[in-house]
């Protein structure tokens, strides 16, 4: 039995374009916001299914692919795919997830933190110092 976590797709279109048998699929509809709730998703993916499928409208516009791959990595069968209505799929590969996806996600997180810190320092600290200097030189 396969678990199909339907994010925003039509399961019949996904099954038709990816040659899936609807009789061996159990569908659970979730939203993108629910992907940020690991307890619920992990409970679903560890429920004893043979394969985990994430279904979406179009993979090209899906922004949570690294998190879906992490959920498949943390599932019991460690087998799964991300499929869309156009027949495209991303098959889970444990080595690619561990050595490419996770490090890229960590790098993106670190760079985002750096940008936030730099922006805070520039806009709230550095600019106040410059404004004070220019205000004091203006008064002279």
Task: Name the residue range of residue 80's domain.
Answer: 2-92
Q: What is the mean pLDDT of each run of 10 residues along the chain (140 residues)?
A: 94 95 95 91 93 95 93 94 96 96 96 94 80 64
On whether residue 116 sits in a domain, the answer given is no
What's the pLDDT tens digit per position in 94-131? 999 999 999 999 999 999 999 999 988 888 877 777 77
In-domain check, residue 44: yes
Distance CA 30, CA 54 (A): 10
Residue 53 lies in a domain: yes
Q: Is 62 within the bounds of a domain?
A: yes
In a domain, 124, yes or no: no
The total number of structural domains that make up the chain: 1
The span from the CA of 59 to the CA of 42, in Å, is: 22
Whether 103 is in a domain gets the answer no
pLDDT of residue 59: 95
Q: Is residue 60 part of a domain?
A: yes
Q: Which pLDDT score, from 0 to 100, does residue 136 have?
A: 65
Rounded CA separation 2/90 (Å): 16
45 vs 73: CA distance, rounded Å: 10
Mean pLDDT of the chain: 91
| Residue 86 counted as domain residue | yes
């Amino acid at each position: 039995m396969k678990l199909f976590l339907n994010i925003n797709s039509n399961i019949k279109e996904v099954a038709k374009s990816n040659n899936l048998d609807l009789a061996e699929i159990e569908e659970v509809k979730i939203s993108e916001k629910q992907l940020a709730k690991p307890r619920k998703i992990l409970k679903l993916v560890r429920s004893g299914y043979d394969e985990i499928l994430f279904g979406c409208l179009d993979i090209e516009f899906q922004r949570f692919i690294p998190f879906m791959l992490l959920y498949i990595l943390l599932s019991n069968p460690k087998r799964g795919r991300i499929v869309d209505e156009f027949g495209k799929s991303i098959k889970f590969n444990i080595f690619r997830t561990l050595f490419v996806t996770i490090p890229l996600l960590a790098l993106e997180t670190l760079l985002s933190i750096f940008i936030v810190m730099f922006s805070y320092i520039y806009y709230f600290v550095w600019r106040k110092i410059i404004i004070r200097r220019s205000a004091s030189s203006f008064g002279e």
